[in-house]
Structure 1
Amino acid sequence: MSIAERGTVAPGAGLRTMRGVVVEADGGVRVRHDLPLPGDPGIGQVLVRILGVGLCGTDAALASGRRAVPTTPWLLGHEAVGEVRRVGPGVRGAAAGDLVVLEPNLPDLTCAACEAGHTSRCAHRRSSGVLTQPGFMTDMVLHPAEFVHRAPAGARVEDLVCVEPASVAAAAVRRSGITAGASAVVLGAGAQGLFAVQCLRAVGVRPLVTDIRPERVDLAVRQGAQPVPASEWQAAYVFDTTGAPAALAGVIDHIAVGGKVTVVGESSAPLGLTSLQLVQRQLTVVGSFIYDHPRDFAAVMDLIGRGAIRPGELLRPGASIDDAPALLADLQGRPGKPWLDLRSRG
């Protein structure tokens, strides 16, 4: 579905057009204020007014051209919280006024992988803002109600805007099988590493953390991690969020025999690990890709509702939508995760 195909029916807010951050045909990233508003929600859809959108490395890769966009203009954004404005026919469990988080990855829910609970492996998965349909870095979107999660009472927008990336971390922790009191190290204290620290703390693990940037380590320590030099740790569980093969190469000298490595960060380079090391150390290496519907989103929403995690603590102050191109061009410019606060039209 292209941006233009979304329709032009005003959603009752008195607006005639909406804003959006798009990759244009010339490769430029621009904030447009003339995008057509969505039409009325169809069967099983909800119309959502976006309140906040997180920015991540995938957005930056699409914006820079390091990753190709499916078409142009391409609307960015896949980490969003909003308010339901209208519901379409047949929608249950959502109503106008609900504060919700949008799940951007849309498995078909009918294939063998989905029926087995592994929706992250769905071969027909659609992806808002990344692979198949326009994203959430805009004022209004239509979205399938099945993939809209109602916020727990009292939840803050700042925490909810982090649910999607926190679900990636929660899935990695779940798939690792780690239990309370186990020894663990998180390689990298970027956004994924920091969310992993919070999720590990929630299951009773105080992880070690390493990163080449001291300010990132400081953030992780404030979330309950223990700082450790990259060459001085020992642990049974490793969570690699760096995407750097060199980081994984160093694991072999520090992980316990029979240990488990869960890899979240991605790289096209070969891993720095030999089969001799893998076999003789009896290691398990698991790749953890996104999350499984609905369990990981639901788990993170529950953790936020109980106050077990506060992912909004990892955010920078909310920026204007007009700041998006500059933020995407320098995503790692300073500590904390950037996000756009769209609660003001101006």
Structure 2
Amino acid sequence: MDTDNLSVVLHAKGDLRLEQRPIPEPAPNEVLLQMHSVGICGSDVHYWQNGRIGDYILKKPMVLGHEAAGRVFKVGAGVTHLKPGDRVAIEPGVPREMDEFFKNGHYNLSPTIFFCATPPDDGNLSRYYIHNANFCYKLPDNVTYEEGALIEPLSVGIHACRRAGVTLGSSVFICGAGPIGLVTLLVAKAMGASQVIISDLSADRLTKAKELGADFLLPVQREVAPQEMAKCVEGILGGMPHISIECTGAESCIQTAIYATRSGGVVVLVGLGAEMTTVPLLNAAVREVDIRGVFRYCNTWPMAIAMLASKRVNVKPLVTHRFPLEQAVQAFETTRQGLGIKVMLKCDKNDQNP
């Protein structure tokens, strides 16, 4: 058996290393995966640059990576639905106990959940990785490893659109055309949104949004007040949107989303910004605008796989850069600089294909 388990390990703020780790042995309910494609998320870069996200603080070396797909290499004694050779996408959040959140279907809210590359839990940016078999999903033959890895960010979009109640005929305003804004756009259109307008500071990202099916683009200018931006949204759409989905975390964008949403509509907050944010709460309250939060996702992988297999959603254009695992530091630097959309690391030295 191969002994090469090259892994991308964050030791401390700013200290990212490539190092060999032992190849783990799967427990009865786990599978050992030969990793293939792992996307770099903004949260991976944030841990690298800051050593923490909110209350999650890096205290010991941690393997990064949670947007992942690979091939089953070995199965634990109790695993019956997977076999060596199966291609799978990995759901990175695994409940550790059957608590009230697990029982009522909101296992993502369980306070003790395991989550890849969230301190103290290791991620899967390595050659080999073990994971709970029940949170590994077989990929159809017509879905690539990279598409499988992109199910993780796609799931954020699915969960956000479900929380928002996107349905046939919805008009939707999306703040931010980064990777999460773009997958939210794809999902909103697939769920039947009739009009989607998306805003961003970057002309390149708005161009990508147009390619992916946005009906209207709204370039953001920093000096324009949120209420004026909201008026622009209304003017372009010919009316206020039913739903606004905020994917930046920026205070001004949250304010714009609230002002822009029609009375009785919904604002969903996806982007993570400052702990304390000033928002026009009274404006939302007197117009019965619901403000809903999003924390990751739950019960989304089957829908995402169906969307990809049926070709209702095409995430392939999101991947703009690819690097072999050995060039992980360069890949992280590319992401940090905001170059392209999604940077993908290829972990299998014998198969660098999408």
TM norm structure 1: 0.90
Partner of 1:17: 4
Partner of 2:327: 323
Worse overlay, 237-246 or 322-331: 322-331
Counterpart CA distance in 1 for 2:135 and 2:283 is 42
Structure-2 change in CA distance of 1:163 and 1:252 (3 Å): closer
Partner of 2:311: 307
Worse overlay, 322-331 or 186-195: 322-331
Question: In structure 1, the residue corresponding to 2:108 is in which secondary structure?
Answer: helix
Partner of 2:35: 50
Partner of 1:274: 280
**Identity fraction in percent:** 26
Partner of 2:92: 104
- Contact 1:238-1:262 within 8 A present in 2 as well: yes
Counterpart CA distance in 1 for 2:214 and 2:251 is 23
**Which runs of structure 2 are paired with 1:231-310 in the superposition (5 Å)?**
231=229, 232-234=232-234, 235-292=241-298, 295-310=299-314
Structure 1 letter corresponding to 2:137: H
Structure 1 letter corresponding to 2:284: L
Partner of 1:162: 150
Counterpart CA distance in 2 for 1:123 and 1:69 is 15
Partner of 2:224: none
State the 1:84 CA deviation.
0.2
Q: Provide, for residues 72-131 of structure 1, a one-character-per-residue CA deviation record: whole Å limited to 9, x for no partner.
A: 321111111000011111112111110001111111351111111111111211112113
- Contact 2:33-2:74 within 8 A present in 1 as well: yes
- Contact 1:80-1:102 within 8 A present in 2 as well: yes
State the 1:218 CA deviation.
0.7
Counterpart CA distance in 2 for 1:76 and 1:174 is 28
Structure 2 letter corresponding to 1:46: V
- Contact 1:217-1:227 within 8 A present in 2 as well: no
Structure 1 letter corresponding to 2:233: W
State the 1:27 CA deviation.
4.5
- Contact 1:78-1:104 within 8 A present in 2 as well: yes
Query: Would you say 1:35 and 2:21 are equivalent positions?
Result: yes
Structure 2 letter corresponding to 1:233: V
State the 1:297 CA deviation.
1.2
State the 1:160 CA deviation.
1.1
Question: In structure 2, the residue corresponding to 1:256 is in which secondary structure?
Answer: coil
Counterpart CA distance in 2 for 1:330 and 1:156 is 23
Structure-2 change in CA distance of 1:187 and 1:63 (3 Å): same
Counterpart CA distance in 2 for 1:233 and 1:109 is 44
Counterpart CA distance in 2 for 1:310 and 1:284 is 30
- Contact 2:36-2:69 within 8 A present in 1 as well: yes
Query: Would you say 1:208 and 2:197 are equivalent positions?
Result: yes
Worse overlay, 327-336 or 114-123: 327-336
Structure 1 letter corresponding to 2:140: P
Partner of 2:237: none
Please list every run of 5 or more consecutive structure 2 residues that lacks an aligned counterpart in the other structure: 221-228, 235-240
- Across the aligned residues of Structure 1 and Structure 2, the Cα RMSD in angstroms comes to 1.8
- The alignment covers a number of residue pairs equal to 329
Counterpart CA distance in 1 for 2:202 and 2:12 is 36
- Contact 1:318-1:338 within 8 A present in 2 as well: yes
TM norm structure 2: 0.88
Partner of 1:95: 83
Counterpart CA distance in 1 for 2:60 and 2:329 is 16
Partner of 2:347: 342
State the 1:330 CA deviation.
4.4
Query: Would you say 1:223 and 2:227 are equivalent positions?
Result: no
**Which runs of structure 2 are paired with 1:78-89 in the superposition (5 Å)?**
78-89=66-77
Counterpart CA distance in 1 for 2:3 and 2:275 is 47
**Which runs of structure 2 are paired with 1:64-79 in the superposition (5 Å)?**
64-67=49-52, 70-79=58-67
State the 1:158 CA deviation.
2.0
Worse overlay, 17-26 or 212-221: 17-26
Q: Provide, for residues 34-82 of structure 1, a one-character-per-residue CA deviation record: whole Å limited to 9, x for no partner.
A: 222222x221110100001010111001111341654432111111100
